[in-house]
Amino acid sequence: MSIKAVASIAGVFEHPTRKAVDKTVAQLHAECAAGALADAGLSLGDVDGYFCGGDAPGLGPLSMLDYMGLNNVRHFDSTETGGSSYIAHVGHAAEAISVGHCNVALITLAGRPRTEPEKISRGAAPELTWEAPFKPQTINMYAICAMRHMYEFGTTSEQLAWIKVAASEHAQHNPHAMLRERVSVADVLASPMIADPLRRLECCVVSDGGGAVVVVRTEIAKTLKRPLVRVLGAGEAAKGQNGGRVDLTYSAAAFAGPAAFAMAGVTPADINYASIYDSFTITVLMQLEDLGFCAKGEGGSFVQDGGLISGIGRLPFNTDGGGLCNNHPNNRGGITKVIEAVRQLRGEAHPAVQVKNCGLALASGIGGQLGGRHGAATLIMERRS
């Protein structure tokens, strides 16, 4: 099914809080929803589609529909693929719109892991019996990918550090960013080692807050007083352990990205701006290769010397500071990637990092664990006058 140009993103909102001691998770969802709908010029009564992930409390969409007073919803979706869920939700919303299931779809994310650290439970996941004895941790699973990439392709810690440097160059202009101080390659390399070869400054922030996105039928978007941002292509994929036959040098974005590009009818060379999921520096580098912005093994040379810095590099990325510096709400950064891409396409990013004549943008997300099983989602968006 092609969803090209059927749906458009009419509203976005990123919650300004990074520590929500006085708000519930449900309240954060509702405040994000209100913000995105106001941005679009729509109301709760206009919403007839709702999308959320595993962060939604209670019975997910059933609880949140009732809590937020979404009484006209006739289609809902609670797809759960970790941090990539919300990029996938945009594609799912466009699909639902294309077949007439809804006309105005609301996507929300919220959480409070900084105020109230969550206990991650994988329930009766089939892999636990075999993997739990080795006590895998998120940071370790990403670190083994980084180490393998270094072994296979000669990628260096200095090159990975440039990804953090680029994020910090952008975050200094974001008043809401958790980490606004510019850092150098030397600063990154001097930070404590967490899981070899990844250091503390190569890890994302932990933040409360959330965000929301409103996806509407393009005919409706044209009637609203907002710049037109059309959804051109979407792709999603999963990658697991494959019975122990694991190649740690690529992610599921190697499949989600080409599917999105094929649907959109564009190539990586056409993209003006990219929001790339940045739970760790290695997450960015591998996606850049898998999405086709450079060849496999050339990610290090692609990002070094400011390759991702707006106004300097060949591909401006995460101009809000990304998960490495700005915000990673509820440990799920996918929705913020869509939000900043929309800001860029509208020309509403900070003037210091706004990409000139930004007409095509990409958002890419990874959910789960890069070194284990994970999902990837890619979204391509276009600004139209």
Can you tell me the distance from the alpha carbon of 260 to that of 8, in angstroms, rounded to the nearest whole number? Answer: 16
83: pLDDT confidence band, cut at 50, 70 and 90? very high
Q: Among 231, 246, 268, which residue terminates a domain?
A: 231
Are residues 285 and 252 both part of a single domain? yes
* E strands, 176-272, in order: 193-195, 198-199, 209-217, 228-239
Are residues 215 and 244 both part of a single domain? no
* E strands, 218-267, in order: 228-239
Domain limits for position 79: 7-116+208-231
Q: Is the pLDDT of residue 314 over 90?
A: yes
Per DSSP, helices labelled H in 123-184 are 128-131, 138-153, 157-171
Residue 357 lies in a domain: yes
**In the predicted model, what is the mean pLDDT of residues 96-103?**
98
Are residues 262 and 222 both part of a single domain? no
Adjacent-strand bridge partners of 381:
231, 361
Are residues 259 and 220 both part of a single domain? no
Q: Is the pLDDT of residue 267 over 90?
A: yes
pLDDT at 120: 59
Q: What is the pLDDT of residues 176-200, one digit of tens each?
A: 999 999 999 999 999 999 999 999 9
- Average pLDDT across the chain, whole number: 95
Q: Is the pLDDT of residue 45 over 80?
A: yes
Q: What is the pLDDT of residues 3-14, one digit of tens each?
A: 998 999 999 999
Q: Is the pLDDT of residue 48 over 80?
A: yes
pLDDT at 132: 79
**In the predicted model, what is the mean pLDDT of residues 113-129?**
76
Residue 129 lies in a domain: no
Q: Is the pLDDT of residue 128 over 90?
A: no
Are residues 147 and 19 both part of a single domain? no
Are residues 99 and 139 both part of a single domain? no
**In the predicted model, what is the mean pLDDT of residues 356-367?**
97
Q: What is the pLDDT of residues 209-227, one digit of tens each?
A: 999 999 999 999 999 999 9
Can you tell me the distance from the alpha carbon of 364 to that of 254, in angstroms, rounded to the nearest whole number? Answer: 11
pLDDT at 125: 80
pLDDT at 140: 94
pLDDT at 244: 81
Can you tell me the distance from the alpha carbon of 280 to that of 183, in angstroms, rounded to the nearest whole number? Answer: 16
Sheet holding 49-51, edge to edge: 75-77, 49-51, 104-111, 209-217, 7-14, 228-239, 374-384, 360-368, 273-276
Q: Tokens for 99? A: 């077949």
Residue 290 lies in a domain: yes
Under 8 Å CB-to-CB from 294, ≥6 apart: which residues?
288, 301, 302
pLDDT at 1: 65
Q: Is the pLDDT of residue 119 over 70?
A: no
DSSP annotation of 101 reads S
Are residues 219 and 236 both part of a single domain? no
Q: Which of 125-134, 230-239, 302-311 is predicted least confidently?
A: 125-134
Are residues 343 and 256 both part of a single domain? yes
SS3 149: helix
Can you tell me the distance from the alpha carbon of 385 to that of 382, in angstroms, rounded to the nearest whole number? Answer: 10
What CATH number should be reported for the domain holding residue 112?
3.40.47.10
DSSP annotation of 276 reads E
Can you tell me the distance from the alpha carbon of 8 to that of 56, in angstroms, rounded to the nearest whole number? Answer: 24
Phi, psi of 369 (to 5 degrees): -125, 125
Are residues 258 and 323 both part of a single domain? yes
Global pTM value = 0.96
pLDDT at 279: 97
Number of domain units in the chain? 2
**In the predicted model, what is the mean pLDDT of residues 153-166?**
98
Q: Which residue has the tokens 């093994």?
A: 297
Adjacent-strand bridge partners of 377:
236, 365
The percent of residues in the chain predicted with pLDDT above 90, rounded, is 90
Residue 127 lies in a domain: no
Give CA angle at 81 (194, 145), nearest 5°: 35
Q: Among 231, 246, 267, which residue terminates a domain?
A: 231
Q: Is the pLDDT of residue 203 over 80?
A: yes
21: pLDDT confidence band, cut at 50, 70 and 90? very high
Adjacent-strand bridge partners of 380:
233, 362
- Looking only at the bridges linking them, the beta strands covering 209-217 and 273-276 are unpaired
Q: Is the pLDDT of residue 307 over 70?
A: yes
Residue 237 lies in a domain: yes
Can you tell me the distance from the alpha carbon of 108 to that of 66, in angstroms, rounded to the nearest whole number? Answer: 14
Can you tell me the distance from the alpha carbon of 22 to that of 236, in angstroms, rounded to the nearest whole number? Answer: 36
Are residues 196 and 213 both part of a single domain? no
Q: Tokens for 109? A: 């994310």
Q: Are 185 and 199 in contact (CB under 8 A)?
A: no
pLDDT at 121: 58
pLDDT at 123: 64
pLDDT at 15: 97
Of residues 68 and 118, more confidence is placed in 68
302: pLDDT confidence band, cut at 50, 70 and 90? very high
Residue 226 lies in a domain: yes
Are residues 222 and 238 both part of a single domain? no
Residue 11 lies in a domain: yes
**In the predicted model, what is the mean pLDDT of residues 288-306?**
98
Q: Is the pLDDT of residue 118 over 80?
A: no
Q: Tokens for 62? A: 């059933």
Are residues 309 and 172 both part of a single domain? yes
Q: Count CA atoms closer than 13 A to 339's CA, side-chain side.
A: 29
How would you class 243 by CB atoms within 10 Å of its CB: exposed for 0-12, middle for 13-18, buried for 19 or more? exposed
**In the predicted model, what is the mean pLDDT of residues 25-30?**
97
Residue 126 lies in a domain: no
Phi, psi of 351 (to 5 degrees): -55, -30
pLDDT at 135: 79
Q: Is the pLDDT of residue 317 over 80?
A: yes
Can you tell me the distance from the alpha carbon of 75 to that of 86, in angstroms, rounded to the nearest whole number? Answer: 16
